[in-house]
Amino acid sequence: MLLSAVSRRAGIALALIVSCAPLAVPFAKAGQDGLVEPRLHLRMAEASKDAPRVALTFDACMGKTDARILATLIDNRIPATIFVTARWLRNNAPTAALFAAHPDLFEVEDHGAEHVPAVDRPLKVYGIAAAGSAVAVESEVTGGASAIAASGLAAPRWFRGATAKYSPSAIADIRRLGLTVAGFSINGDGGAMLGAVAAERAFSKAKDGDVIIAHLNQPGREAGAGVVRGILDLKARGYRFVRLQDAGARGTDGTTD
Ligand SMILES: [Zn+2]
């Protein structure tokens, strides 16, 4: 594991030189509830403009594995960044083993312990009760990271909380824990609620540097079929796929730009 981690870091340094560096588009202003939804974008070096590059990111919140999407990624050798919760890992050990068996394809990052929003005061986000305190946010973040390590995967560097909304003070706490908040720039499946045609259309709008979010844990939903078609459409159009770690290990979450 140690050697593997070292070589991965060497790869990151190389990727930083030859490809791209992460850039968050201007940090979203807090909404009426005081929460922010950071956006994330990849900034491409001039030399990489020949082929559009996008980052595919998938959340695995709870429930099962969408084998349609997973098989598409593996069969087509398409790299992706997967955000997993401890809760999802408990029920999907075979998929975690697949991630570990394909370190060249899958970067696994932290989606929290129990899938509660990283908001340090008691409120509901989209009907989901938030962590509610700074201590609970820390527990959510570190619980997710510990479960990833226990699955034999590399320690996470990025965190994306449930609902992708945060209180600004929680973002500061997450950064103190050594993780960067991973936003996105294109919602590829509307929380796995889109129909197949709409999901495919969302993917088709990706431009150079976009970070697309979709879900890997809803095998029964129509959205996943559209996600598969959307990925294959981008591939056919010559897009290249990068993981967040290939775009720079630390990056920014937009709170300092
Ligand atoms: Zn989620």
- pLDDT 10s digits, 145-181: 999 999 999 999 999 999 999 999 999 999 999 999 9
Q: pLDDT digit string (tens) for 192-238? A: 999 999 999 999 999 999 999 999 999 999 999 999 999 999 999 99
136 in helix, strand or coil?
helix
What count of Cα atoms within 13 Å lies in the side-chain half-sphere of residue 69?
Answer: 37
How many Å lie between the centroid of ligand 1 and the Cα of residue 116? 9
Q: How far is the CA of 218 from the centre of ligand 1 (A)?
A: 11
Tokens of 52: 């559009």
Q: How far is the CA of 65 from the centre of ligand 1 (A)?
A: 13
Does the CA dihedral 192-56-24-208 come out positive or negative?
negative
Using the mean position of ligand 1's atoms as its centre, give its distance from the Cα of residue 32 in Å. 22
3-state DSSP helix/strand/coil percent for the chain, to nearest 5?
A: 40, 20, 45
Domain ranges of the chain: 24-241
* Domain 24-241 of CATH type 3.20.20.370: yes
pTM of the model: 0.86
Distance between Cα 188 and ligand 1 center (Å): 14
Count CA atoms closer than 13 A to 211's CA, side-chain side.
Answer: 29
d(CA 35, ligand 1 centre) in Å: 17
Residue 50 confidence (pLDDT): 73
Instruction: Compute, in angstroms, the gap from residue 24 CA to the centroid of ligand 1.
Output: 20
Q: Give φ, ψ of 237 to 5 degrees.
A: -85, 5
C-alpha to C-alpha distance for 160 and 249, rounded to whole angstroms: 15
* Measured distance CA(224)–CA(190) in Å, rounded: 11
Looking at residue 140, what is its pLDDT? 98
